Homo-oligomer: A and B are copies of this chain.
Amino acid sequence: MCRSITGNGVRDTLRVLQRHIPLTVHEVPSGTPVFDWTVPNEWNIRDAYVKNAQGERVIDFRRSNLHVMSYSVPVHRTVSLEELKAHLHTLPAQPDWIPYRTSYYKEDWGFCLSHRQLSELREGEYEVCIDATLAPGHLTYGACYLPGASAAEVLVSAHICHPSLCNDNLSAVALATFLARELRPVRQRYSYRFLFAPGTIGAITWLCLHEADVSRVQHGLVLSCVGDAGHLSYKRSRRGNAEIDRAVHHVLQHSGQAHDVEDFSPYGYDERQFCSPGFDLPVGRLSRTPGGRFPEYHTSADNLDFVRPEALADSYATCRSVFDVLEGNQTYLNRNPKGEPQLGRRGLYGAIGGQAGERVEELALLWVLSLSDGSRSLLDIAERAQMRFDTIRAAADALMAQGLLAEVAVTSRGNASAPP
């Protein structure tokens, strides 16, 4: 499927996702103004080739949809090799790979090919054909909304505009789809919104059309390049210490695996739009090797071989753990704040005293009691105690069951924020 920022490749892709999750497909007409941008004309391509004097397709769209620069305008004529070369893109350093190139906002046409292919082209006339249309139509995106106990939302976004590239970004499209499928059966505390839209213009369009509702987004993740063999890498939201930033950091820290956490920068995927200063949403980006930092990036080598099932599974498990933190990150009040409550008579504490050390579960009880003064969430406590969130969460559950904690309604959208 030859996906681009508009066109049937996107529609076909969303149809595949609809087999797995309830996905609403939205069509936005070309020409619609969206903030500083305008929804572009729709691009569709049927065929494209370069034929040599012998009539052989020396570059053939049917072999790889990367061969055509995305959004190339239609062309059909005969050109010299020299004129052709001005429209050819190769990667001399990776002579066997076809690069991926686009020209969305400047009318142009081009072919991408391996440098080896280029070196085999002989002087002569070539028939160039791009059988495409670039005309008023629609921009297409898909959204899957899973209502939870609260209208407060977790946004998960994957761009869907790249043609046959696998890590960037089919890996994230697949991951988001499976997350939605697995979260759907159980009603969560938060509502979840999964967005499958073309990069940049798709996110801007969605933000523009949903401007009034965007404040519901309390946490968000842009997923990209989540299937390669590299370790996980998180890029913080522009806020830098949003709850999502701390939740992902916590999960990665306790994963026992190598990982990176880096500060926000305004270059990257659609976190650029969600974190633009007019929105400044608490949206970070989860990747394995981030786009642009692996040689296969935006080339024909970003194919199915480059993506590993176990890496995708690890990305999936990490997202689930992050959601567990968000879902469980409540704030409590110790109802017996003066001195410790007597845990022993409630069966929460060992009966025989004097032994050195403390079980981690008992220590977690003490941390939750010590810090649950209404101003700290369980994630705050887990961070301070340097313990796993699930251990702290289990301690809070045990204390709640004994009536030792009261839940606190947190209304602010600060660090300890919970759904309204």
Contact = CB atoms under 8 A, between A and B. Distances in A.
A336 interface: yes
Contacts of A203: 339
Contacts of A370: 238, 266, 272, 275-277
Contacts of A89: 352
A16 interface: no
B372 A102 contact: no
A3 interface: no
B356 A292 contact: yes
Contacts of A104: 353
A208 B266 contact: no
What is the total number of copies of this protein in its complex? Answer: 3
Contact of A366 (B37, B272, B357): B272
Contacts of A372: 277
A245 to B, nearest CB: 16
Interface string A341-382: 110110000011111111000010011011111000000000
Contacts of A208: 338-339
For chain A, which range describes its interface: under 10, 10 to 19, 20 to 34, or 35 or more residues? 35 or more
Contacts of A99: 354
Contacts of A352: 69, 89, 101-103, 106, 108, 110
What's the dominant secondary structure at chain A's contact region?
loop
B373 A277 contact: yes
A357 B292 CA distance: 6
Interface in A173-221: 200, 203-204, 207-208, 211
Interface string A99-117: 1111111101010000000
Given A103-B353, A352-B101, A356-B292, A338 B278 contact: yes
A49 interface: no
A223 B340 CA distance: 19
Q: Which 10 A-B pairs have the closest CB atoms?
A: A278-B337, A278-B338, A266-B366, A266-B370, A204-B339, A102-B353, A106-B351, A292-B356, A36-B341, A101-B354
12 contacts: A35-B339, A36-B339, A103-B351, A103-B353, A105-B344, A105-B345, A110-B352, A207-B338, A267-B358, A277-B373, A292-B356, A298-B355
Given A36-B340, A291-B356, 6 more contacts: A36-B336, A37-B339, A89-B352, A208-B338, A208-B339, A266-B363
